[in-house]
Structure 1
Amino acid sequence: MSQQPPVRPEYQRELSAPAALRLDVPLPLATRLWNQTWLRKTVIVALLLVVWEVVARLQNNDLMLPGVVQTLRAWVEDMQSGELPGKIANSLGTLLKGYLIGSVLALLFSALAISTRFGRDLLSTLTAMLNPLPAIALLPLALLWFGLGKASLIFVLVHSVMWPIALNTWSGFTSVPETLRMAGRNYGLSGPRLVLNILIPASLPSIISGLKIGWAFAWRTLIAAELVFGASSGDGGLGWYIFQNRNELFTDRVFAGLATVIVIGLLVEGLVFATLEKATVKRWGMQR
C-alpha cells in the first residue's frame, strides 16, 4: 500500500504594490511635460534660436549675420506685403506637380519590377545609372528641352523623386513574407490586384519612408534649381526670393527665406507624414 504525499494547505497572500509602481499616484508635472515629444522639440528649437541670437550679437554685423529679431521682422514685413506668400505658393505648386508625377512613376516601375523579370532588370539598371546622378546636373538639359518655364523644374523634380521612392518601394515589396503572397494567390490575386491588395499594404512602412526621402530630395532640388535657374516664366519661388535678396544685400530677408524653407519642411514632416503614419502603419501595429 503506497503512502499518499501530504497535501499542502492552500492560502492566499495579498500583495501590496510598491509606492513607486502604484497607478493611482500621478507623475510629477515636470515629468509629464517632459514626456511630451512636441515640448522637447520646442525646447531644442528655442535653444538653437538663443544660440543664433547670441552669436549674431557677438558678431555685431547685420550684413554677415542678422539676429533672430531682425530676421523675424523682415519675415513679418514680407508676409504682410504678400511677396513671401506668393513665392511660397509658386514653389509648393511646382513641387507638388513634380512630386506626384515622380511618385506615380516610381510605383509603376516597382510594380512592373515585382511582376516581371524584365521589369526587375529595368529598374535595377535605371536606378544604378540615374540615382547617383544629381538632379541639378540635369537642369541645363531641361532648359534646352523644355525652355524657360516650370516644365524644366518639374523635370528635375521628377528625377530627384522617382528613384529613392522606387528603391524603397521595391525593397518593401521584396521583404513581404512569402506566406502573404501565397495567401493572395489562393484568393486568385495576381498582377496588379496582388500588388494593390497584398504588396502595397504589407510594405507600407517602406513606401512611406521612400515618400519622406523623396519629399526631402524634391524640396532641396527645387530650392537649388530656383537659385540657379531663377524665375520661372517671370514668377519665381522661394529660391528666387533668396537669390534676389542676396544680390541686393538684404541678408535679413535671405535668412527669412531660409527659415521659411525650414519651417515648411518641419510642417510637412510633422503634420503630413506623421499623420499618415499614425493613421496607417502605427495604427495597424506595423511600426512603433
Structure 2
Amino acid sequence: MSLINPPVRPEYERLLEEIPPREATRPLHWSNRLWQQAWLRRTAILIVLAILWEIIARQQNNDLLLPTFLQTASALREGLAGGELLRRAGISLTVLIQGYAYGIVAAFALTTLAVSTQLGRDLLSTLTAMFNPLPAIALLPLALLWFGLGHGSLIFVLIHLVLWPLALNTYAGFQGVPETLRMAGRNYGLGGLRYVLQILVPAALPAILSGLKIGWAFAWRTLIAAELVFGASSGKSGLGWYIFQNRNELFTDRVFAGLVLVILIGLAVETLGFQTLERLTVRRWGLQR
C-alpha cells in the first residue's frame, strides 16, 4: 500500500533574500572618455617619439648624421609644397597598386584551385614551399633582364611578394571554415566559384585580411628598397630614388623626410584602409573581437 499511495510531503514556502539595489555607475570622467579614443592614444605615442627624436638629435649636434625632428618636418613641408615628394610618392604607389592587385588575383585563383581539386592543393603546397622563402630582391636582377628597366620588373617582384603569403593565409582560412557552413552551402546547391565567394571567403575573411596586410607590408618596403638599389626605371623615379639621390648629395634632412613620408603612407594605409575594412566587415559580423 505504501508503494501505491506514497506519503505526501508537506509544502512549504521559502522566502528569498532581497537583492540589494545596484548602485548607479558613475559616468566616466571626460579625460577617461577621451583617452579611450584609439586615435588619441596613437597620436600621443607619435608626439612622444617626436620629442625623443628632437632631444637625441640636439644632444648629437650633428645635422649630417641625425637632423632634428623640426629640420626634418621643415624638409618634408618644403618637399610636399614644391610637389616633388607628392610626385615621387605617386609614382611608387602607382607601381605598388598594380603589383598588389595582380598578386591578389593570382593568389585568389591559386587558392580557389587548391580548395577545388587535389592537384590544386599539391600545386599550392609545392609552389609556396619553393618560392615563398625566395627573397624578392634576389629576383630583381632577373626581372630586369626579362622585362627591362621599366615598371614591369618592379611589378613582377611585387606579384611574387604578395602572392605567396596571401595564398597561404587564404588557404589556411578556407581550411578553418566550419563544416556546418560547408554543408549549408552544398545544401543550397552552391559549387565552384559561387561556393568560394559566398561561403568560404566571408568565413575566412580574418585570415584573408591578415594575408593582405602581410603582402602590403612586404610589397611596400621591398619597392622602396628596389628603388634605392636599382634607381629610376624608365626615367620615372619614386620615393626610394628620392632618398638615394639626397643621400648622395648629403641632404640628410631630405633623406629623413622621405623616410617619414614612407612611414606616414604606411600608417595611412593601415588606419584608413585595413582597419576601416575590418570594422565594416569582420568586426560587424562578429568574426573578430
Q: What's the TM-score, normalizing by structure 2?
A: 0.95
Q: Which residue of 2 aligns with 1:183?
A: 184
Q: Aligned partner of 1:233: which letter?
A: S
Q: Aligned partner of 2:283: which letter?
A: K
Q: Which residue of 1 aligns with 2:3?
A: none
Deviations, residues 66-89 of structure 1 (Å, cap 9, x unaligned)? 000000001111111110010010
Q: Which residue of 2 aligns with 1:68?
A: 69
**CA-CA distance at 1:4 after TM superposition:** 4.7
**CA-CA distance at 1:235 after TM superposition:** 1.2
Q: Secondary structure at the match of 1:15?
A: coil
Q: Which residue of 2 aligns with 1:16?
A: 21
Q: Aligned partner of 1:243: which letter?
A: F
Q: Aligned partner of 1:241: which letter?
A: Y
**CA-CA distance at 1:183 after TM superposition:** 1.3
The reply to whether residue 102 of structure 1 matches residue 103 of structure 2 is yes
CA distance in 2, matches of 1:228, 1:79: 24
Q: Aligned partner of 2:70: which letter?
A: V
Q: What is the correspondence of 1:1-288 to structure 2 with a 5 Å cutoff?
A: 2=7, 4-8=9-13, 10=15, 13=18, 15-18=20-23, 22-23=24-25, 25-288=26-289
Q: Aligned partner of 1:35: which letter?
A: Q
**CA-CA distance at 1:17 after TM superposition:** 1.8
Q: Aligned partner of 1:275: which letter?
A: T
CA distance in 2, matches of 1:74, 1:54: 18
CA distance in 2, matches of 1:86, 1:265: 17
Identity %: 64
**CA-CA distance at 1:102 after TM superposition:** 0.3
Deviations, residues 69-115 of structure 1 (Å, cap 9, x unaligned)? 00000111111111001001001100000000001100100000010
CA distance in 2, matches of 1:8, 1:30: 51
**CA-CA distance at 1:16 after TM superposition:** 2.0
Q: Aligned partner of 1:54: which letter?
A: I
Alignment root-mean-square deviation, CA: 1.4
Structure 2: unaligned runs, 5 residues or longer: 1-5
Deviations, residues 212-269 of structure 1 (Å, cap 9, x unaligned)? 1110011011101110111121110110110010010000000000000000000000
**CA-CA distance at 1:10 after TM superposition:** 4.9
Q: What's the TM-score, normalizing by structure 1?
A: 0.95
Q: Aligned partner of 1:191: which letter?
A: G
Structure 1: unaligned runs, 5 residues or longer: none
Q: Secondary structure at the match of 1:104?
A: helix
**CA-CA distance at 1:13 after TM superposition:** 3.0
CA distance in 2, matches of 1:56, 1:14: 63
CA distance in 1, matches of 2:43, 2:49: 10
Pair member with larger Rg: 2
CA distance in 2, matches of 1:252, 1:26: 47
Q: Secondary structure at the match of 2:65?
A: coil
Q: Secondary structure at the match of 1:176?
A: coil
**CA-CA distance at 1:7 after TM superposition:** 2.6
Residues matched between the structures, number: 284
CA distance in 2, matches of 1:72, 1:50: 13
**CA-CA distance at 1:12 after TM superposition:** 7.6
Deviations, residues 7-40 of structure 1 (Å, cap 9, x unaligned)? 326578362223xxx24x2112222222222111
CA distance in 1, matches of 2:40, 2:90: 29
**CA-CA distance at 1:181 after TM superposition:** 1.1
CA distance in 2, matches of 1:28, 1:181: 48
CA distance in 2, matches of 1:3, 1:283: 56
**CA-CA distance at 1:168 after TM superposition:** 0.3
